[in-house]
């Protein structure tokens, strides 16, 4: 949620979004002193901020999974019913797209 935006709640009204960063196996970590607080402008419903992707790219090497993702990113496997290819003039609903991380 954006700064100053208050969400719904019975006892407390939330002003945060939560994200799970999970690992499988023994990933190579490049950065290990990152805070869990990420400030970024609010985007449309369920779209993660670009700052989140930058953070994960700075922390982890290798392929990454974006579940409920909305757009293709190099080095990321994207799952999501609202996913669209970059530069696609007619967004279509896709189930899975994998973009190569390079050589």
User: Is 4 domain-assigned?
Assistant: no
Residue in 98, 85, 21, 29 with CA at minimum distance from that of residue 62:
29
101 neighbors 63 (Cβ within 8 angstroms): yes
For position 92, what pLDDT does the model report?
A: 46
Give a yes or no: residue 41 inside a domain.
yes
Q: Is residue 101 part of a domain?
A: yes
Domain residue limits at 38: 20-103
Mean pLDDT score across all residues of the chain: 75
Structure confidence by residue, pLDDT tens digits, 17-67: 777 888 888 888 887 788 888 888 888 877 888 998 998 998 888 888 888
Q: How many domains in the chain? A: 1
């Amino acid at each position: 949620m954006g700064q100053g935006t208050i969400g719904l709640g019975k006892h407390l009204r939330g002003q945060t979004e939560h994200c799970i960063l999970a690992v499988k196996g023994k990933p190579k970590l490049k950065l290990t002193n990152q805070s869990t607080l990420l400030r970024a402008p609010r985007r449309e419903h369920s779209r993660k901020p670009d700052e989140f992707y930058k953070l994960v790219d700075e922390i982890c090497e290798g392929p990454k999974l974006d579940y409920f993702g909305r757009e293709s990113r190099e080095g990321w496997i994207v799952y999501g019913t609202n996913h669209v290819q970059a530069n696609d003039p007619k967004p279509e609903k896709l189930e899975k797209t994998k973009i190569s991380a390079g050589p």
